[in-house]
Structure 1
Amino acid sequence: MQQIFNFIFKNSNRLLFLLLLGISLALTIQSHSFHRSKIISSANFLSGGVYEKANNINEYLNLRTQNDALALENANLKSLLFNKKDTTQIKKLDSLKGVKPSDIIVSKVIHNSYNVYENYLTLNSGELQGVKPDMGVINSLGIVGIVDNTSAHYATVISILNKKSLINAKIKKSDHFGSLTWDGKSTGYVQLIDVPRLATIRKGDTIVTGGQSVIFPENINIGTIERIYTDEETHYYKIEVKLFNDMTNLGHVYIIKSKNREELINLEKREKDE
């Protein structure tokens, strides 16, 4: 307390000057509308700047929540897209490829390998969320892989950049089918093999998932044709496909429940046994 009194006594002249200056400014502002408007404008500018900075910080801190909300919204939009009817074709009774919002599980990639021959991803969703082996995994750009194993809260996925991966795919323009594989060379390319030579194909044509798969809905994007070869042994086309996805940078993904998969497999197995 004594130090405070000493400070006031030592700086009494300065403090008196500041007090009188403050009183004079207040009287000036109150008696002149021009000065008052300038002060208010300056105060609004300063407070607006502070609020803007605070809002920017708040938005940054809420990015994760916003991303999760956008992922859920995208899942609902994708379910509508998958179920959109093609009015140029005869209505089909087969609902195997139908995807409802309840058939989509939103998840996130928490680990991703892409620099070995057998690459896997880990997702932060598991059995408690309804994830099971052999479910297809996609994102907004195309296919990502197939669920391999699950635990209560996590799932591992066989990446399309895996030499064991084999997915039914087709040329969108001509509907000619083949098998999608990976030769282990580049993270940006996969190969479509066993495409018949009678298929009319060109560089730039789009490759999508085929209708023979019960893992992926039909017509999910994969990539575009980059190069075309002829396999000397099989005499079928071998196509180099440039992926739409950057498989080295994956975030939110969508796990698609395999509708009626077990029923179809059992039916096909029974047919072979007979």
Structure 2
Amino acid sequence: MQQIINFIFKNSYRLLFLLLLGISLTLTIKSHSYHRSEYINTANSVSGAVYQKIDNANEYLSLREKNLRLAEENALLKEILFNKKDTTLPNKNLHIEQFLDFNVRMSKVVKNVFNTRENYLTLNSGSLDSIKTDMGVVNEKGVIGIIEKTSKNYSTVLSVLNTKSRINAKIKNSNHFGSLIWDGKNVGYVQLIDVPRLASLKKGDSIVTGAESEIFPENIPIGKIDKVFIDTKTNYYTINVRLFNDMTSLGYVYIIENKKKKEKLNLEQETIKK
């Protein structure tokens, strides 16, 4: 209290001047319409600029939440896209549930290993989110990998940049298919092997997931043909594929569940036994 009194005493002339200045400005503004309008305009301009700065700061701080909402919306849109069979239904009595073969869930990469021969990712979704082994993982650019293991809250993904990875893929324009592998050399490229020499292909053609995959929907992007080699031992093509994805920089991803996978595999096993 004493410090406040001392401050007022030492600065009494300045405080008195500011008080009188404030009173005179107030009286001037109140008694003259021109000064009043100029004051209001200036105050509005200043307050508007302050509010704009505050709004910009709030918008920046909310980007994380917005990104999360966008990823969730994308998951829903991808689920619709992956389940789309045709633009028209052949029978009015059919229900949309009959065409829903895939579930799509959003997740986020919390760890990304890409500098070994057996690379993997860790996602912040697990068994509590209904994530299971052998579900496909993609993002907006294409294939990422396949769920390898799960815990309650996390799951690991066998990356396409893993020498143990093997995914059914095809040349989009010709429908000839092969197996997508990684030779462990370049993180920007994978290889499509066992493609018959009858296949019509050229540099720049798109490589997508094949219809034989029980994990991914057909036609999910993977990459483009960069180089083509002929395996002298098998007389098949080996194709170097430049990935659409930068596998060293991944954020939100989408986990795909094929709801009819078990039915298909069981039927095929029964057929083989006979």
TM-score by length of 1: 0.91
Match of 1:217 in 2: 217
CA distance in 2, matches of 1:2, 1:78: 69
The 5 Å alignment of 1:101-112 reads 103-112=103-112
CA contact (8 A) 2:84 2:99 kept: no
Structure 1 residues 172, 97: closer, same or farther in 2, change over 3 A? farther
User: What's the % identity of the aligned pairs?
Assistant: 62
Match of 2:166 in 1: 166
Q: Which runs of 5+ in 2 are unaligned?
A: 92-96
Q: Which moved more, 1:125-134 or 1:43-52?
A: 43-52
Match of 1:50 in 2: 50
CA contact (8 A) 2:146 2:159 kept: yes
Structure 1 residues 149, 28: closer, same or farther in 2, change over 3 A? same
CA distance in 2, matches of 1:69, 1:48: 29
CA distance in 2, matches of 1:14, 1:216: 77
Q: Which moved more, 1:62-71 or 1:209-218?
A: 62-71
Per-residue displacement from partner, 1:71-120 (whole Å, max 9, x unpaired)?
A: 111011112222333469x99xxx998545xx111111111111100001
Cα distance, 1:64 vs structure 2: 2.0
Cα distance, 1:24 vs structure 2: 1.3
Match of 2:94 in 1: none
Number of matched residues?
268
Match of 2:266 in 1: 266
Match of 1:197 in 2: 197
CA contact (8 A) 2:223 2:243 kept: yes
Q: Secondary structure at the match of 2:258?
A: coil
Letter in 2 for 1:49: A
1:153 and 2:148 correspond: no
CA contact (8 A) 1:134 1:258 kept: no
1:59 and 2:59 correspond: yes
Q: Secondary structure at the match of 1:185?
A: coil
CA contact (8 A) 1:109 1:251 kept: yes
Q: Which 4+ residue blocks in structure 1 deviate beyond 6 angstroms?
A: none
Q: Which runs of 5+ in 1 are unaligned?
A: none
Q: Secondary structure at the match of 1:39?
A: helix
CA distance in 2, matches of 1:183, 1:29: 79
Cα distance, 1:59 vs structure 2: 2.0
CA contact (8 A) 1:112 1:120 kept: yes
Letter in 2 for 1:38: E
CA contact (8 A) 1:214 1:259 kept: no
